[in-house]
A and B are shown apart, each in its own frame.
Chain A
Amino acid sequence: MSESGGHVLSFPHMGNYHVPMVTLASMLDTEILVAPRMTRRTLELGTRYSPEFVCIPFKYNLGNFIESLESGANLLVQAGGGCRFGFYAEVQEAILRDSGYEFEMLRLFGSFELRDYHRQLRRINPKLTFRRALWHYRLASRQTNALDVVEDYSRKNCGFEVEDGAFERAFEAFLGKLGRTQSFAEVDTLERETLEELAAIPTERPDDALKVGVVGELYVVMEPFSNFFVEKELAKRGVEVHRHMSVSEMIAHSGRNGPKHLRKLIEMSGPYLHYHIGAHGTESVGLARQFMQDGFDGVLHLKPFGCMPEVNAMTALQRMSRENLFPILFFSYDAQSSETGVRTRLEAFCDMLRMRRRRDPGLAEAMEVCA
């Protein structure tokens, strides 16, 4: 039994962010249960109880909730955003209650003002001071930032490791330690040491290594299980993978910084977008154009099937691709997508990018590249 009346808190997975999330949630003095690792069962459960046409992150989230409830959770945390995500909490709560589960739902969204959050959180832990809430928030943000920096470095370099799995092992060790950090200074040290450790891993990078950027809807971009590990698959084919989207970026551009960031993104989109198209659609267009201008070989656009903001972005992206002959590969994820299909398309995409790299390849040379 925990101090605040037997609450056992849980939340949906997204990438490795459960680590800072635990730090954040521990301000509530409840027991915290990290949802069981994502597996096919998570998706099966989520799909069984979800509306057929809902976007895929909803199904994964619901699957996480069910697995957490089965393991004893009774306080679920859900956020929300500027698309269907804004209705996730209400609909999921209704579905889970109809399915006979008993729990409390904590909805965290709205103004991005810490004072508002504090008020909401006091419902669970009445003794929570603003000062303490702020401390947890800051430490969790710092951990998130370290996580994003380390992941970013791995993405760009793990494709060239000499020994298979060297980056992954170092990363797993980092993740374990990150959860135990208790102060800014500890996170700083861990981040520095990890980056040194990663830099010491032997790599062999060809001079003409391909560079691919990843853009798209936030969940399928940041949850590798839901995108069939596309970043890892790309890296395996000797590609340097870049992606700007991360929770650190989202925090940096939230609240008061939002409008300014949006204006910048529309500017970055150049002739392809003149107004905001919802959620992260504008970001997809602006960042893809940035990748193109930075001389990247291609861009991967990931979205859940039926995601409106990203469908909006696709039209602009298709025009960008057509007018500049810039390769953009589109993936639309749903519960039935095939992993083999994703791999086939990625392999072909990398072949194509390699052939394009040769200035005047001629067929014989082009074939040599892929054979």
Chain B
Amino acid sequence: MGYLGVDVGSISTKAVVIDDAGQVVARSYLWTEGDPLAAVKRVLAEVELQAEAAEESVAAVGVTGSARELVGAALGAQVVKNEITAHAMGTLARHPDVQTILEIGGQDSKIILVRNGVPVDYAMNTLCAAGTGSFLSAQARRLNVPVEEFGAYALQSSKPTKIAGRCTVFAESDLVHKAQIGHPREDLIAGLCQAIVMNYLNNVGKGKEIRAPIVFQGGVSKNVGVVKAFADLTGEGIVVDEDGHLMGAIGAALLAREGEGRAAFDFATRDLEFDTRGYECGGCPNDCEVVTLCRAGEFLDGWGNRCERGLERAKKNVTTS
């Protein structure tokens, strides 16, 4: 039996298929590009071929990530789980002795403390995306360096430039200023890597006891410059799993395996036409922004309503238009 896990993040969409033993037999990682449903169709196409080759059919689906409700409804998932729990579960399955999980994704970052194999505390960034992957990609664009090569540049530096990482906008002014007075590019990039780590430790990690073994994951863990900055600033070894960027999807698949729901998943689901419609309820001055998901014109689910009336009106809106 195989279990499909899908993690639909703001920047990237991940899918894995695991077997009964929890081994990953199919994996895919693609950019979300602002269209989660289209991104899911693309990752499903990739994992379908790999799962077929491994002769695994999917018996249950788990979905996580910021688009989990939308994608969960579209795929008819058995488990729809928040990304914090999913990441903790995925990591614990592969690193049972972990005590601290550091996670930096496209728009969020989190820390999960684990003691004796159980998550005991966590924190997640609020209000602002400073100190996340988006911060790095914005600066990479400015320096005209592909974000994938960022880490390699950073490692060449022996004297990282000091850059204030408290706020993405201020960091950018700082970076521009330092570049204009002649700091070399590799020092600037290494400085940015340190700035993101400082920001992380002072915000998300504030007041938390970071104990080794430390596992660092999320898209940004692929950046060796940031890994080095974490190691330098914590004085500890940092473990980066080769599937670190897939950990949410792995966790979702494991939770699907653990749950009771079973329904053979047909990969042909990705050929179905889904469409979403946003609409302002207008039932009261709160004007909830309700989003509805339809499959071939048929109402599947809706979100964003504060009261039942919102969904009723949304349903009517779908059937009459």
* A interface list, Cβ under 8 A from B: 36-37, 39-42, 305, 314-315, 318-319, 321-322, 325, 327, 330-332, 334, 336-337, 340-341, 344-345, 347-349, 351-352, 355-356, 358, 360-364, 366-368, 370-371
Contact = CB atoms under 8 A, between A and B. Distances in A.
A334 B82 contact: no
B287 A330 contact: no
Contacts of B88: 352
A321 B127 contact: no
Interface string B258-294: 1110000000000000000000000011111000000
B198 interface: no
B96 interface: yes
B127 A366 contact: no
A350 to B, nearest CB: 9
Contact of A321 (B81, B84, B121, B285): B121
A318 B66 CA distance: 27
A356 B285 contact: no
Given A40-B287, A327-B120, A348-B82, A305 B96 contact: no
B156 interface: no
B207 interface: yes
Contact of A41 (B118, B259, B286): B286
A341 B66 CA distance: 9
Given A36-B285, A363-B117, A341 B258 contact: no
A41 B120 contact: no
Contacts, number: 111
B254 A367 contact: yes
Given A321-B207, A340-B66, A361-B118, A345 B258 contact: no
A358 B83 CA distance: 22
A51 B288 CA distance: 25
Contacts of B126: 330-332, 337, 341
A344 B117 CA distance: 22
A337 B285 CA distance: 19
B82 A351 contact: yes
B123 interface: yes
B127 A352 contact: no
B85 A348 contact: yes
Given A39-B286, A363-B96, A371 B79 contact: yes
Contact of A39 (B79, B258, B284): B284
B122 interface: yes
B115 A325 contact: yes
A347 B83 CA distance: 10
The secondary-structure label for the interface of chain A is: helix
Contacts of A327: 120-121
Interface magnitude class on chain B = 35 or more
B49 to A, nearest CB: 28
Given A36-B285, A41-B287, A348-B82, A318 B207 contact: yes
A347 B82 contact: yes
Interface string B56-96: 00000000001000000000000101111100110011001
Contacts of A319: 207
Interface string B110-126: 00010111111111101
B117 A366 contact: yes
20 contacts: A37-B284, A39-B286, A40-B285, A305-B127, A318-B206, A321-B121, A330-B126, A331-B126, A348-B122, A349-B122, A351-B85, A352-B120, A352-B121, A355-B119, A358-B118, A361-B117, A363-B96, A366-B118, A367-B255, A371-B258
B116 to A, nearest CB: 8
B242 interface: no
B119 A352 contact: yes
Contacts of B66: 340, 344
B175 to A, nearest CB: 25
A344 B120 contact: no
A195 to B, nearest CB: 27
B85 A322 contact: no
The 5 nearest A-B residue pairs measured at CB:
A318-B207, A348-B84, A39-B286, A371-B259, A371-B258
B234 to A, nearest CB: 16
Contacts of A322: 207-209
Contact of A336 (B127, B208, B258, B285): B127
Nearest to A364: B258
Contacts of A314: 207
B285 A325 contact: no
Nearest to B93: A363
A355 B207 CA distance: 22
A362 B124 CA distance: 25
A336 to B, nearest CB: 7
A242 B209 CA distance: 28
Nearest to A305: B127
B120 A325 contact: yes
B255 A371 contact: yes
A370 B255 contact: yes
A41 B284 CA distance: 10
B258 A367 contact: yes
A344 B92 contact: no
A337 B127 contact: yes
Among B120, B122, B124, B126, residue most surrounded by chain A Cβ atoms (within 10 Å): B126
